[in-house]
Amino acid sequence: MLISCSEGGVVEDPAGVAHVHPQRLARYHRLTAAWPPTSLLQDTVKSRLPFGRRALDLGCGSGRDSQFLARSGFSVTAIDIASEAAAYFTKMDSVEFLQADIEQLSLPTAAYDVVNAAFCLPFLRAAVVPRVIRHIKAALRPRGVFVGHLFGDRYVGIGRNSSLALFTRAELTAFFSTMNMLRLVEVEREGVLADGTAAHWHRFDIAAQHV
């Protein structure tokens, strides 16, 4: 799974390095291990800190967002499909790493105050994403917050979109219609992937609260 981006510059999300192939995924994790947590997660946690302190980081990669959550006082469960990601968590306090496929994951009900899914949902099968989002919503406690990203239908990048989950704004809004939308920012611009490949970026930054 893919996580995070380089905020404020032309190099965006991990996509071009890490999509599907395990060796490329491992290389992406090495290249980006020192990157900061996503600004979306930082802003959401700092501006609207939930009452509880339990967090789930889906597609955690090298654990940059997981570590930020732990340092912010959360007990974190971090999940990634890549077994090599476990090595990044051996010295992280308050973080439990689990290797699992998000598409097959069964989440406990009303268990988390924050669910973070930074740049991982677009790399699931499109038909599976609505179900995964439903499971995420069910896993949030009352007033819990989802933080994450989805790619828009005008994104053009990795593999020329052959296997990415892309959605219109209307589709995305419907996914979160039963939640209180705290932040929905649409970003569209030319840029490059982490491996230098040109891409047309179209993404949605989302923070939504369980009501």
Enumerate residue ranges in the chain where pLDDT < 50: 1-19
Given a contact cutoff of 8 angstroms between Cβ atoms, the answer to whether 133 and 124 are in contact is no
Query: Over the stretch 107-120, which tens digit does the pLDDT of each residue have?
Result: 999 999 999 999 99
Q: Mark residue 119 as left, alpha or beta (left: phi above 0; alpha: psi -120 to 50; beta: remaining).
A: left
- Output the pTM of the full model: 0.87
* Residue 137, in any domain of the structure: yes
pLDDT given for residue 118 in this prediction: 94
What domain range includes position 60? 15-209
Angle between helices 39-47 and 64-71 (to 10 degrees): 20
Residue 9 lies in a domain: no
- CA-to-CA distance for 183 and 55, rounded, in angstroms? 19
**205 occurs within a structural domain:** yes
- Look at residue 4 and tell me if it is in a domain: no
| pLDDT tens profile 11-52 | 344 443 344 566 777 777 777 777 899 999 999 998 866 668
Q: Is residue 36 part of a domain?
A: yes
> Which residue in the block uniquely carries the two structure tokens 């209180």?
180
The CATH number covering residue 98 comes to: 3.40.50.150
Q: Is residue 10 part of a domain?
A: no
Strand 112-117, strand 54-58: pairing: parallel
- What does the alpha-carbon distance between residue 64 and residue 3 come to, in Å, rounded to a whole number? 9
* Residue 19 in domain: yes
Instruction: Please give the pLDDT value at position 89.
Output: 94
Question: Is residue 2 situated within a structural domain?
Answer: no
Q: Please tell me the predicted confidence (pLDDT) of residue 51.
A: 67
Q: How many domains does the chain have?
A: 1
Cβ–Cβ under 8 Å, residues 155 and 184: no
Specify the pLDDT at position 205: 98
208 and 48 in contact (C-beta within 8 Å)?
Answer: no
